Amino acid sequence: MYSKIQRIILLTLVLLLSVSCKKVTIEQQIDKIYNYFQNENTTAVATLERVCKDYPARMSGSENNDEVIDYFTYVLAEEIGIKNIWHQEVEVPNWDPGVTKVTMNLSDGTVIELPSIALGLNNGTSGEDVTAQVVEVGTREELETLRCKDKIVFFNGAMEDGNSYSKHAWQRSRGASLVTEKGAKAVLVRSISNHPGDTPHTGACHDGDSIAAVPAVAISTNAADKLSEALKKDKKLTVTINSTAHNRPEPAIGRNIVAEIPGKVNPDHIILLSAHVDSWFNSQGAQDNASSCVAAIEVLRAYKKLRMQPRNTLRIVLYQDEEMNLSGLKEFARISKEKHESYIFDLEIDSGAGKPVGFSVSEDPGYFGKMEEVLTPYLEPRGLTLTRYTGERNWPLKPYYTFRTDNSDYFKYHHGSLDNFENVNQETFKEGIAAITTFVFLMD
């Protein structure tokens, strides 16, 4: 890892050096980048459509996932002409979503099916009906005194807006493990989305420490509202859950793909763009995360098309298993550590294809202040802001940066069956790639 002084020197000199051999100003080069994606680039949207239509449901270890790696390899090698490309094999979860059905059984005998979906890594009910009365939970604090023995726990905390995902995602990822020792029979989770709808959203459901969590499934936001209202009127209603989701005993094998353009001046200094290849089984995975994989590839294509020779090595990794265990990026980081590689930063791209709003960086206040001073005059005219990330994220690579988009509509699609090519705004998608390319150019 570079020392703070080294990085400040790099940042201070980077803008002058990036154009030292060119007859264009920084502003003119940025104009060229945006003009390329707005008016000249014909491959970004076409590549995204190909990935979504030909290789949907890219679960790690699946046939579509493996084939899309071959397709990305072809694009990088044959279309763009990248010479440095390699693959990394990695063990990934081998989970089968099976078939899931949930019914709400009113005390008057009425049976209503609730749109439902299996949750990743959860073992379901082994195809058996699990029927019980329901206890509703809205906040994590309610768990402290919750009595749920032999009951189905219904986690119904609703997202307030597109920025409250992390506030509520624990219900899906940890809810089942948190009530297992309390004697719950199963768990229902309100889809983690701030949009009303009848399409349920999936996601990972992790066991607690060495504890096999009880069966858990998600229901749509509309179904959650319907169940919550019914519980107020009918205290004796029950819910039946049947899910054949299960973990196969042997892990599957996935592949990371890594590609780079070597730096002309500092080849051992690496700027990394990372994006996950895997998607869920219920959609084309357009926003999450085909758009980001294509964006990383198109940054390399822009460097080639616009004859932008990076001073530092520009590397991308399209990795496996972000949705469950992050095993692909962990393996990439392990190999990098063995090679004694270090990165100027890792820019994670995983925020959909909405309008770009900026970049979040995990840096100390002093270095962040220097970044603001140097970068803001070039980012601000494009509607981009630089923010300092102060949360805790156990990310395998440091420093951790993220690309940010307007996520007002993102969770309408995230992990749901609507995450398809037709629901991608092509103009904001290309504008986002222009923003990423600009950021890389400024930091190079």
pLDDT tens for 17-29 read 554 445 679 999 9
Spatial distance between the Cα atoms of 310 and 269, rounded to a whole number of angstroms: 11
Residue with tokens 């980077």: 14
Spatial distance between the Cα atoms of 193 and 200, rounded to a whole number of angstroms: 9
The reported pLDDT for the residue numbered 211 is 77
Whether residue 289 is preceded by a cis peptide bond, meaning omega within 30 degrees of 0, is yes
Q: What is the dihedral of CA 167, 168, 174, 180, to 10 degrees?
A: 130
The reported pLDDT for the residue numbered 219 is 98
The reported pLDDT for the residue numbered 37 is 98
- For residue 380, count other CB atoms closer than 10 A to its CB: 12
The HSE-up count of residue 161 (CA atoms within 13 Å, CB side) is: 4
The reported pLDDT for the residue numbered 209 is 75
Residues in the chain, how many?
A: 444
Q: Is the pTM of this model over 0.85?
A: yes
Spatial distance between the Cα atoms of 19 and 13, rounded to a whole number of angstroms: 11
The reported pLDDT for the residue numbered 84 is 98
Whether residue 399 is preceded by a cis peptide bond, meaning omega within 30 degrees of 0, is yes
Question: Is residue 205 a contact partner of residue 216, using CB atoms and an 8 Å limit?
Answer: yes
The reported pLDDT for the residue numbered 17 is 52
- For residue 99, count other CB atoms closer than 10 A to its CB: 12
The reported pLDDT for the residue numbered 5 is 53
The HSE-up count of residue 416 (CA atoms within 13 Å, CB side) is: 26
Spatial distance between the Cα atoms of 152 and 422, rounded to a whole number of angstroms: 37
- For residue 159, count other CB atoms closer than 10 A to its CB: 19
Question: Is residue 387 a contact partner of residue 358, using CB atoms and an 8 Å limit?
Answer: yes
The reported pLDDT for the residue numbered 21 is 47
Phi, psi of 42 (to 5 degrees): -115, 5
Q: Which residues contact 121 (CB under 8 A, 6 or more apart)?
A: 93, 95, 204, 205, 206, 207, 247, 324
Q: Could you tell me where the beta strands, DSSP code E, fall in 199-311?
A: 216-219, 238-243, 246-247, 252-261, 266-276
- For residue 340, count other CB atoms closer than 10 A to its CB: 7
Closest to 335 measured CA to CA, from 86, 102, 121? 86
Residue with tokens 């156990």: 394
Phi, psi of 405 (to 5 degrees): -125, 165
> Tokens representing 118?
């299996």
Print pLDDT tens along the chain (444 aa): 555 555 665 666 555 555 444 567 999 999 999 999 999 999 999 999 999 999 999 999 999 999 999 999 999 999 999 999 999 999 999 999 999 999 999 999 999 999 999 999 999 999 999 999 999 999 999 999 999 999 999 999 999 999 999 999 999 999 999 999 999 999 999 999 999 999 999 999 999 876 789 999 999 999 999 999 999 999 999 999 999 999 999 999 999 999 999 999 999 999 999 999 999 999 999 999 999 999 999 999 999 999 999 999 999 999 999 999 999 999 999 999 999 998 999 999 999 999 999 999 999 999 999 999 999 999 999 999 999 998 878 899 999 999 999 999 999 999 999 999 999 999 999 999 999 999 999 999
DSSP readout, 67-117?
A: HHHHHHHHIIIIII---EEEEEEEEE--EE---EEEEEE-TTS-EEEE-EE
Question: Is residue 273 a contact partner of residue 349, using CB atoms and an 8 Å limit?
Answer: yes
Q: Which residues contact 373 (CB under 8 A, 6 or more apart)?
A: none
233-269 per-residue burial string, b: 16 or more CB within 10 A, e: under 16: eeeebbbbbbbbbbbeeeebebbbbbbbbbbeeeeeb
